[in-house]
Structures are given as C-alpha cells and as structure tokens.
Amino acid sequence: MPLTRFISFRHNHLLQSDVQTDSLFGTDWARPLYVTGAFVLIRGEKESDRSAVHALNVSAFKTSAEADLVDALREQATPVVSLVAERSGAVVGHILFSPVTLEGNPGLKIMGLAPMAVIPKYQRNGIGSALVRAGLEQCKQLGASAVVVLGHPEYYPRFGFAPSTRFGIRSEYNVPEEVFMAMELEPGSLRGTSGTVKYHAVFSTV
C-alpha cells in the first residue's frame, strides 16, 4: 500500500486537527509547553505509551492503517524519532520520523516525517506544530542533514519545508510536486543532489 494512502491528503485531518524510543535520547527528555490554557508536555515516547499511541492514531485517522504503520516502523526501522504530546497525564499527540534514502546519495542521512496525529478534540491548537518543531530538533541532534514530508502544502512551509523539486529531488510516489517537501537541517546539504526519495519498505506492506 503506497505512502500516499497514509500521509498525502490525510494531513487535512491534522489541519482540523523531543525522542525516539528509549534508546536514542532517553525517555527523560521532555519539553513543557503552555497550549490553549493548559500545559502540554512534548517528550520521547516510552514503551508504556505504545497502546495509547496506537489508539490515538486510530482516533485521528479513523482507520488502523497509520497505527499499524507506526507499530511496524518501531520494529523494523532504525533509527526512529518518536515523540508524544502529553496533557493531564494522557497522550494526545504523536509524531514519527524514520529513515529514507535518496538514490545515488547513500551517505546522505535523511529522515521522513510520517505519520503525525493529534486527538481530534485537541487539533488546531498548536500541539501538532510543537511536535513537528521538537521532532526536527531531535532529527538534527541525531545527525540527519535533511527531512522530507508528504503533506499539506499550506501547513509545512511554516517550519521551513519547500517543494522538494527545488532541491532536485522527487518522491517515489506519483503525487503533485507541491505536496512532497524537503527541508535542510544542515544548510547546503541538499545542494547539487538529485534523484528519488524512497521510504522504508514497511510503507508498502502495512
């Protein structure tokens, strides 16, 4: 099943609407934020969060596809950046970044953002934006030089994403140019590159 099934225009839900698992940055990493009248904690996902994260993705996307994707990437992709947003002790948001490859550039470390979800009643209040910013920061600390995302072209540019064609790269999926975007975490890292970005094989099997 193609990536577009999971991410492409489903980011409309998010518009209505710091990591990884225990081994990279540790589960004690956290950032408190004050969002719409309440404190929200952005932190690394713990193993004990997994059932809540699964339920969250089902709730946000109205299907288990994204939830199953997250579960599979945790097991098969290395490394991953997996963050949750916690409000009043409950997980209300989640974001995942996993490695992607750029054909012809095997030494370039790029992460792909997918998926991101916020519980419907907490959407449109800044939690998604906080997750994206924290996730990008963690990807940079992990040593990634760039991040790609297949999503809403009116949402992701606020974080620094631009159409990937500006960098001479494209998605393996047949999608409009404006919905596949890239962002340099290391200035100039995509300069002179070209080719097709490919996601982890699990995207085509879940």
**pLDDT score recorded for residue 35:** 66
Residue whose tokens read 């997994």: 50
What structural domains and CATH numbers belong to the chain? Answer: 3-204 (3.40.630.30)
Q: What pLDDT, on a 0 to 100 scale, did the predictor assign at position 26? A: 43
Contacts with 76 (C-beta within 8 Å, 6 or more apart), sequence order = 200, 201, 202
Name the more confident of 17 and 173. Answer: 173
pLDDT value of position 29: 60
How much is the pLDDT for 36?
61
- Compute the mean pLDDT over every residue in the chain, rounded to the nearest whole number: 87
| Predicted confidence (pLDDT) per residue in 163-203, tens digit | 999 999 999 999 999 999 999 999 999 999 999 999 999 99
**What per-residue confidence (pLDDT) applies to 28?**
54
> For 102-130, what is each residue's pLDDT tens digit?
999 999 999 999 999 999 999 988 999 99
pLDDT, position 33: 73
pLDDT at 17 over 80: no
* Residue given tokens 């600390």 in the structure block: 141
- How far apart CA 144 and CA 125 sit, in angstroms, is 28
CA distance 206 to 203: 6
For residue 49, the model assigns a pLDDT of: 97
pLDDT confidence of residue 34: 72
